[in-house]
Homo-oligomer: A and B are copies of this chain.
Amino acid sequence: MFETAELNRKIPKQEYDAAEPTLRTALLAAQERLKGAKFSAIIVIGGVDGAGKGETVNLLHEWMDARQVDTHAFGPLSDEERERPPFWRFWRVLPAKGRIGIFFGSWYTEPIVRRVFRESTKSELDRALQRINGFEKMLADDGTLIIKWWFHLSKQAQQKRLKSLERDPATRWRVTKTDWKHFKLYQKFRRVSERTLQATSTGEAPWLVIEGSDHRYRSLTAGKDLLDRLTSRLEAGPATPPEKPAPIKHDPYTILDTLNLSRKLSDKKYEQELERQQGRLNQLWRTAKAEGISTVAVFEGWDAAGKGGAIRRITPALDARDYRVISVAAPTDEEKAHHYLWRFWRHLSRAGRVTIFDRSWYGRVLVERVEGFAREDEWRRAYTEINEFEEQLAEHGIALIKYWLHIDAAEQLKRFTEREKISFKQYKITHEDYRNREKMHDYELAANEMIERSNTEHAPWVLVESNDKRHARIKILKALCDRLESAL
């Protein structure tokens, strides 16, 4: 596929000088419109060393309003990055809506380099590219404009370019040993890149291969492509008009109905087991900590199902220094300006820690679905996005466990009434809670589908009969211990 980028295309100075001011004006105007738009733009820069990647980025900085552009380069992993799944370093710098992020080096670098140096197999490369496609699709679905440029040079042109850079004392520093090392691997690099570009040139995120030998040609080509893509995205407006929430089909029987809510534990048995399981958890967690294995526990379930109480039976077995309870409330405006998973990525902890989510990313397919905050296409694709997210956590070695705490309507009402009587629990009950009860059936069906779609091997759901708090808490503790045991 690179043959068409070896035609030695050139643009004469006169033509360039005539076109440049118009292009700059149009780019600035498009950027102004982007400010007010509800999407961000990502420019991924890849390609052959010496093909003008750095110069193009510098030029974009010169042409555009730098206040809206962030360029990110990715060197060796920091230890904070190494302790999280590989995509964390990209998530943490994704641009907010209205902004442009230039990714100089990106999620493509590692898969390509590893394959060139034979540190990965062909199928590992393909798997990595598949993940990339999922990642880019997810961003694109969220409205992100993804522009990917591959700057190409033929082998001869690259050699010539590197040598000419080396001759000039002002540019000699740009040519590193790595560049020459890569040059020797030109053919391998070319083959792997070709495979990569073919596999990842998708409808929502196509690659543009830019011939890099003539700086005027490559600058205008890149600039015009950016302008075209920005303009057509601005004119297209939002992909799908917001819809009314789809009526939820009422299936009379869900997986939650299979739970035996009469399960109970005596007070005595509870006290014994509580001590036993907390002791066990403490042992396991300390081993996990020493081995740098993190734990993520997700709590979902009905209001008043006892999530908080269950969490408070876990934390005494841990050290306050090493766990965090994230209670998911309304997003901040920085969070709103990103993909909905961004706020969870940013909470991922360093190695060996325990993170407990009191409500989680599943809000997307529960409350956001039922209340119509997310459109149908949004919550439907969320299952895939969430599975992909959790798979990344699991692959990184994080022990992930998800709980659904189930109580029936009568038990819930009883608890609401009780809470109102206990002074320090009153704050937990609002009108909202009673209102939500009316939609209990919708929620139950949404939960049923959620469990069906996201009950994976690496991230299983534990359904907890919670009418009896003692039974629930012990089941939760036991399941957490079992999960840690199998992760160690």
Check if A286 sits within 8 Å of B427, measured CB to CB: no
CB within 8 Å of B: which A306-336 residues: 308, 311-312, 315-316, 319-322, 324-325, 327, 329, 332-334
The 8 Å CB contact of A350, one of B78, B174, B311, is B78
Q: Return the chain B residue nearest A27 by Cβ.
A: B424
Check if A282 sits within 8 Å of B80, measured CB to CB: no
Contact code string A277-298 (vs B, CB < 8 Å = 1, else 0): 0110011001000000000000
Check if A327 sits within 8 Å of B67, measured CB to CB: yes
Check if A320 sits within 8 Å of B71, measured CB to CB: yes
CB distance from A89 to the nearest CB of B (A): 11
Residues of B within 8 A of A315 (CB): 58, 61-62
A1 within 8 A of B: no
Check if B32 sits within 8 Å of A71, measured CB to CB: no
Q: Return the chain B residue nearest A60 by Cβ.
A: B320
In angstroms, Cα B29 to Cα A275, docked, is 31
A25 within 8 A of B: yes
CB within 8 Å of B: which A48-104 residues: 54, 57-58, 61-62, 65-67, 70-71, 73, 78-80, 102, 104
Q: Return the chain B residue nearest A77 by Cβ.
A: B79
CB distance from A56 to the nearest CB of B (A): 9
A80-B78, A327-B66, A329-B67 given; A279·B424 CB < 8 A: no
A332-B334, A333-B334, A424-B24 given; A173·B282 CB < 8 A: yes
In angstroms, Cα B333 to Cα A24, docked, is 32
Residues of B within 8 A of A173 (CB): 282-283, 286
Residues of B within 8 A of A427 (CB): 28-29, 32, 65
Residues of B within 8 A of A283 (CB): 173
CB within 8 Å of B: which A406-465 residues: 423-424, 427
Interface residues of A, CB < 8 Å — how many? 55
In angstroms, Cα B67 to Cα A329, docked, is 8
A358 within 8 A of B: yes
Check if B282 sits within 8 Å of A170, measured CB to CB: yes
A21 within 8 A of B: yes
Q: Return the chain B residue nearest A425 by Cβ.
A: B28
Residues of B within 8 A of A279 (CB): 169-170
Residues of B within 8 A of A358 (CB): 66-67
In angstroms, Cα B320 to Cα A110, docked, is 20
- In terms of DSSP, what is the predominant structure of the interface of chain A? helix
Check if A28 sits within 8 Å of B424, measured CB to CB: yes
A315-B58, A334-B334 given; A73·B282 CB < 8 A: no
Check if B79 sits within 8 Å of A319, measured CB to CB: no
In angstroms, Cα B62 to Cα A70, docked, is 42
Residues of B within 8 A of A424 (CB): 21, 24-25, 27-28
CB distance from A71 to the nearest CB of B (A): 5
A332-B334, A358-B67 given; A54·B104 CB < 8 A: no
In angstroms, Cα B21 to Cα A424, docked, is 8
Q: Return the chain B residue nearest A329 by Cβ.
A: B67
CB within 8 Å of B: which A32-60 residues: 32, 54, 57-58
Residues of B within 8 A of A78 (CB): 78-80, 350
Check if A25 sits within 8 Å of B320, measured CB to CB: no
The 8 Å CB contact of A174, one of B29, B275, B319, is B319
Residues of B within 8 A of A67 (CB): 325, 327, 329, 358
Q: Return the chain B residue nearest A81 by Cβ.
A: B80
Residues of B within 8 A of A24 (CB): 424
In angstroms, Cα B423 to Cα A169, docked, is 37
CB distance from A426 to the nearest CB of B (A): 8
Residues of B within 8 A of A329 (CB): 67
Interface centre among A24, A25, A319, A320 (most CB of B within 10 A): A320
Question: With contacts A78-B79, A102-B320, A333-B334 known, what are 6 further pairs, Cβ within 8 A?
Answer: A32-B427, A54-B319, A58-B320, A65-B427, A170-B275, A332-B334
Q: Which residues of A contact B (CB under 8 A)?
A: 21, 24-25, 27-29, 32, 54, 57-58, 61-62, 65-67, 70-71, 73, 78-80, 102, 104-105, 169-170, 173-174, 275, 278-279, 282-283, 286, 308, 311-312, 315-316, 319-322, 324-325, 327, 329, 332-334, 350, 358, 423-424, 427
Chosen A-B contacts, 19 in total, with CB atoms closer than 8 Å, are A25-B423, A28-B424, A32-B427, A57-B320, A58-B320, A61-B312, A67-B327, A73-B322, A78-B78, A78-B79, A78-B80, A78-B350, A80-B80, A105-B321, A170-B275, A170-B278, A170-B279, A332-B333, A333-B334
